[in-house]
Structure 1
Amino acid sequence: MSRIGKQPVALPSGVTATVSGQTVEVKGPKGTRSWTATDEVTITQEDDAIRVAPRGNSKRARQQWGMSRTNIANLVQGVTDGFKKELEVQGVGYRAQAQGNTLKLNLGLSHDVDFPVPEGVTVTTPKPTEIVVEGHDEQLVGQVAANIRDWRRPEPYKGKGIRYKGEYIFLKEGKKK
């Protein structure tokens, strides 16, 4: 039995959901999101909750059960609170600056990096060494943060680069004489 799948997804006030077949559409203060489930699960809507149940007892149905419930919960969280990833830029002369739909990164390369921000995500820089990626789609927010981080991953000797806030980088010891 899936411990996650058994729990219903509660709909907070101000959020409405419609279930039509395998498609769930959720409307809230931050926008509208929809998701289509596989045929291995059954989705039902009660008064202020959505329940997911497996069809049959096959391994795939049980796998999809918890995942489907989590995806629906992410839809609800995305339209109410949204998702946020924070990045830190560390290194001498390394900085970031948000300009409209582009993020300008100075990362010690021979040129500045202009990172285009996709639709549905907002990128802000409260400080030149901090980047905040926000949006209502968890997968898209995480992917944009990972793409920004890929421009200069933290290196293991000095720790310079772009890292997630609170990420610990295991530093190696340098050469000895």
Structure 2
Amino acid sequence: MGVLTYTDEHTSVVPLSRIFKASIVDSHILMPKLLPDAIKSIEFIKGDGGAGSIKQINYVGGFVKHQIDELDEKTFTYKYTLIEGNGISDKIEKVSYDIKFEAAPDGGTISKMTTTIYTHGDFEINEEELKAGKEKVLGLYKVVEAYLINNPDAYV
């Protein structure tokens, strides 16, 4: 098994508690509303959203299942593992995400995400595939961020 780990960081002007609640805690409600052309639905097929829950995201072109490993609203941390669906193949066993939100000095938020990809055998992911995955995640984050900026009374 191969293991590839990388870290990304993004800064937002949106306060910590708002962006965490919108992008993590209520993502199953908010994302299908913000991206109806891409996300058909998000549902918990096991659990209620806490640790041990399994969330299925139904895209226009497929689905993914996330196992929630940790969700801590006090420390603003979220850990989950992509366990099934698009992105999992005979070459990739699973992908784990460890996200930590921190207050920025200007009142905004710094989000740090460590992604760990577990591959079967000696399969290596090329830079273009990594870049595409990073851009997709950042794009989702920016959609939520824009919504919160344009709706200052949401998630206060």
Q: Tell me, yes or no, whether TM beats 0.5.
A: no
Output the TM-score relative to the length of structure 2.
Answer: 0.31
Output the TM-score relative to the length of structure 1.
Answer: 0.28
Structure with greater strand share of residues: 2
Q: Which has the larger radius of gyration?
A: 1
Higher-RCO chain (CA-CA 8 Å, sequence separation at least 6):
2
